[in-house]
């Protein structure tokens, strides 16, 4: 009971200190909506670098690969078909990475 009361009191004290210590300046930029890195007040036809979009797609591709492949070592009784499919996924993603590197997509020039 004392532990719960201590944790609650400490949390309440830290929260009240953070509220009292904040700067309450009203700022148009702070109060505006922020979505995907674009300013809400700018023109919707502003140019967008395709390089960032390519890097985003590569990140998503490797993120999905990690989601698909990461649970495989947790299973102890994997048959050869499952191991072959896991290896094929990794090989396919690696070939895609080498191709993107060769094409120069990963260069930040």
Instruction: Please report where in the chains the tokens 């591709």 appear, as a residue.
Output: 61
pTM for this predicted structure: 0.46
- Residue 14 in any domain: the answer is no
- Annotate 44-108 with three-state secondary structure: CCCCCCHHHHHHHHHHHHHHHHHHHHCCHHHCCCCCHHHHHHHHHHHHHHHHHHHHHHHHCCCCC
Cα gap 91→98, rounded to integer Å: 10
Q: Which two tokens stand for residue 66?
A: 């990690």
| 10-residue mean pLDDT series, the chain (109 residues) | 90 88 67 61 67 81 81 77 83 86 75
What's the number of domains the chain is made of? Answer: 1
Q: Which two tokens stand for residue 23?
A: 């700067």
**What DSSP character marks residue 38?**
B
Instruction: Please report where in the chains the tokens 């944790």 appear, as a residue.
Output: 7
- Residue 35 in any domain: the answer is no
- Residue 6 in any domain: the answer is no
- Residue 101 in any domain: the answer is yes
């Amino acid at each position: 009971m004392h532990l719960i009361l201590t944790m609650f009191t400490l949390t309440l004290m830290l929260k009240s200190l953070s509220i009292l210590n904040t700067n309450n300046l009203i700022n148009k930029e702070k109060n505006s909506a922020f979505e995907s890195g674009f300013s809400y007040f700018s023109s919707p036809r502003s140019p967008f670098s395709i390089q960032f979009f390519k890097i985003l797609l590569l990140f998503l591709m490797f993120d999905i690969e990690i989601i698909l492949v990461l649970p495989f070592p947790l299973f102890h009784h994997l048959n050869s078909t499952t191991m072959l499919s896991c290896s094929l996924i990794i090989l396919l993603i690696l070939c895609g990475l080498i191709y993107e590197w060769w094409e120069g997509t990963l260069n930040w020039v």
